Structure 1
Amino acid sequence: MHRIAQIGAGRMGSVHLGNAAANPRLDLALLVDPRPDAGEIAASVGARVADLDGVLGDASIEGVIVASSTDTHLTLVRACLAAGKAVFCEKPLDLDLAALTAAEAELSQPKAPLFVAFNRHFDPHFRALRAKLKSGEVGDLETLQIVNHDPAAPPAHFIPTSGGLFKDFTIHDFDMAGWLMPDPFVEIFAWASCLVDPAIAEAGDVDTARTLLRDARGRICVISNTRRSGCGYDQRIEAFGSAGMAVAGDVAQDAVQVWREAGAVSAPLYPGFMTRYAEAYRGEMDHFADILAGEAEPETAYAASVASLALAEAAARSVATGAPVRL
């Protein structure tokens, strides 16, 4: 077993704590978190509370999960890597592209493995879709449509520290677009509005967007985002090729349908990301165990973080200017 520590036990931290504790190849030994009940949280997963220096100075700790607030990610990742610890960092690595590019020499060739956890790479439906595209089952990919709709808007107080719609939310879709499309994008155009919650506009953000991406061969990706679907957590990808179409559709909570005279009734979509992507979160923890065992290289690391953040910043510029942005 690989002995690890985790920093942060908040919303995403609680997901990673449970998955790390349940993984038979990982020994979750230490938790760093300032909250008063950190000791109880640590004990619930068989760990104990420590401080950062204690984690960095413990030679038995092979890896660290960084799941603290986003504004601390880059500093903590750099400290852990400098101490020779492999790192699992909850996305994003940072919200400032300039800060990330300034750290390129250090993070593109880190002293220890750096895995930035874009969880959708590990969703079995999206992985199967990518395999179909890579095998050529629908011919040459020509256009891609990604639908990422939240069931309901977050509280307005979340907005100022989130990085905004493009950096907090659409960043997953930018990562998926780069993963599924065969060539880098050369141009981006985005429209955005606040149609769901006026408090989001008052906080300086938008809640609804359509983004177009184009590569050098003219292939197009369309990304649809909203903070309110009205029908649950709507997560779909449609890929159109020269010989057909491949679709990863919405996932319902079960596949049972009841048919009556009025028609069919089926299970609802998942209510949010924690349940819809539960298997993906377990998959990325398995991937971290593979990394620690020397059996895999990080699927998503510094380069993926920079690429998705660059698209997020370019989309925001396009909205602000009303014009396409060359990449």
Structure 2
Amino acid sequence: MAPLKVGIIGVGRIGRCHCASVASVPTKATVSMICDIYQPALDEVSAIFHVPKTTNDPIELINDPDVEAVVICSPTDQHAGQIMAAAKAGKMIFCEKPISLSLEIIDEVAAVVKEAGVMCFVAFQRRFDANFMRLKEAVTGGEVGDVHMMHIVSRDPSPPPVNYIKASGGLHNDMAVHDFDMARFLAGSEVAEVYCKGSCKVDPAIGEAGDIDTSLAMLTFENGVVATVDNSRKATYGYDQRVEVFGSKGMIQSNNKHANTCVVSNDESVSTCKAMAFFMDRYADAYRNEMVAFVDCAHEGKATPVGVEDGRAAYLIGKAAKQSMETGLPVKVADMS
């Protein structure tokens, strides 16, 4: 089995992460080419990972015969066009979320990918985290019985820059979209209805940019499960990522990850360190696991475990959450498409 030849578009923070993940499995995959408009970053990453080819042109990378699979880590507004170009070139595709901030464009992407008959893996890395995989195993294995309720908490340690907020698509389709995907993943069902409340509690500048920083959404699934998704752009104690699934036989919880497991006990308190403060550290293993899953699917010709249809479904939940927040009414997800 020859290593899969991978081309990576965008070598910023997440692109470098994926370079490292590919490099960690040299018998399965190799980075054959990278692309970025910022030449110093391109030169640096090429040197670190010994990448033989570089370019400033994504289309050149997509059409290069030494690229079998394209990993898209470019800005959001470029994702859809690059997916479609790669699909038409017959390449296997891995793309960071979101596919697009437009349902019409997402559907166009889906049609092009289907017509080309290529694999398109959409990067919801939390599905590949050990804690969330164990939650899914407990649900599908019947350990908690029939699922009644889920609670998902996702709070960042600090908000991103306002300039990022302006182009992000809003909290529900930037931050909470991961949680909406996780809710679908765990429930094993589609969301029928969303009721959401949101506000600006962290930074007035986020509100001035047209977004919120605090949200609580209630999701009602077609199979009767009810879930809450609790989001905040700022938790002073670290990156807060917790889930509880409650069912007829019991419950399973996943708690935060810490830099170490030490506990200090004395006559004043019992304490441990804060939760990890950076998402790239918290999900380091998940990022590697998802890339390895993509490479394995490519080698084995298997369907991707998470694809365009999952990106579309999470987008629609986010769209429904925003409309519910604005109207104060529950919104049917089916009405969003």
TM > 0.5: yes
Determine if contact 2:80/2:109 at 8 Å carries over to the other structure. no
Does residue 323 (structure 1) correspond to residue 329 (structure 2)? The answer is: yes
Partner of 1:26: 29
After TM superposition, list the pairs within 5 Å mapping 1:276-287 onto structure 2: 276-287=282-293
How far, CA to CA, are the matches of 2:114 and 2:199 in structure 1? 35
Q: CA offsets per residue over residues 231-272 of structure 1, 9 Å max, x none?
A: 100000000101111111111111121221223221221112
How far, CA to CA, are the matches of 2:253 and 2:58 in structure 1? 44
Contiguous gaps of at least 5 residues in structure 1: none
Three-state SS of the structure 1 residue aligned to 2:175 is: helix
Determine if contact 1:194/1:200 at 8 Å carries over to the other structure. yes
Does residue 160 (structure 1) correspond to residue 163 (structure 2)? The answer is: no
How far, CA to CA, are the matches of 2:49 and 2:226 in structure 1? 45
Determine if contact 1:82/1:111 at 8 Å carries over to the other structure. no
Q: CA offsets per residue over residues 59-96 of structure 1, 9 Å max, x none?
A: 23210110000100000011011111101101111111
Alignment length (residue pairs): 327
Determine if contact 1:21/1:46 at 8 Å carries over to the other structure. no
User: Equivalent of 2:45, from 38, 41, 48?
Assistant: 41
Does residue 191 (structure 1) correspond to residue 193 (structure 2)? The answer is: no
Determine if contact 1:253/1:269 at 8 Å carries over to the other structure. yes
**Greater Cα shift, 47-56 or 217-226:** 47-56
**Greater Cα shift, 126-135 or 54-63:** 54-63
Change (3 A) 1:132 1:260: same
User: Equivalent of 2:4, from 2, 5, 12?
Assistant: 2
Letter of the 1:230 partner, please give it: T
How far, CA to CA, are the matches of 2:222 and 2:29 in structure 1? 43
Query: Post-superposition shift, 1:210?
Result: 0.1
Q: CA offsets per residue over residues 259-302 of structure 1, 9 Å max, x none?
A: 21223221221112100000000001111110221253211111
Change (3 A) 1:178 1:168: same
Determine if contact 2:7/2:62 at 8 Å carries over to the other structure. no
User: Equivalent of 1:126, from 132, 138, 162?
Assistant: 132
Determine if contact 2:62/2:70 at 8 Å carries over to the other structure. no
Letter of the 2:24 partner, please give it: A
Q: CA offsets per residue over residues 176-214 of structure 1, 9 Å max, x none?
A: 011111322211010000000011011110000000011
Partner of 1:208: 214
Contiguous gaps of at least 5 residues in structure 2: none
Query: Post-superposition shift, 1:106?
Result: 2.0
Does residue 93 (structure 1) correspond to residue 94 (structure 2)? The answer is: no
Letter of the 2:108 partner, please give it: A
How far, CA to CA, are the matches of 2:194 and 2:63 in structure 1? 45
Partner of 2:270: 264
Query: Post-superposition shift, 1:147?
Result: 0.4
Letter of the 1:263 partner, please give it: S
How far, CA to CA, are the matches of 1:285 and 1:117 in structure 2? 9
Partner of 1:231: 237
How far, CA to CA, are the matches of 1:153 and 1:58 in structure 2? 39
Partner of 1:241: 247
**Greater Cα shift, 15-24 or 233-242:** 15-24
Q: Calculate the TM-score normalised by the size of structure 2.
A: 0.93
Letter of the 2:323 partner, please give it: R
User: Equivalent of 2:175, from 165, 169, 174?
Assistant: 169
Partner of 1:112: 118
Letter of the 2:112 partner, please give it: E
**Greater Cα shift, 169-178 or 109-118:** 109-118
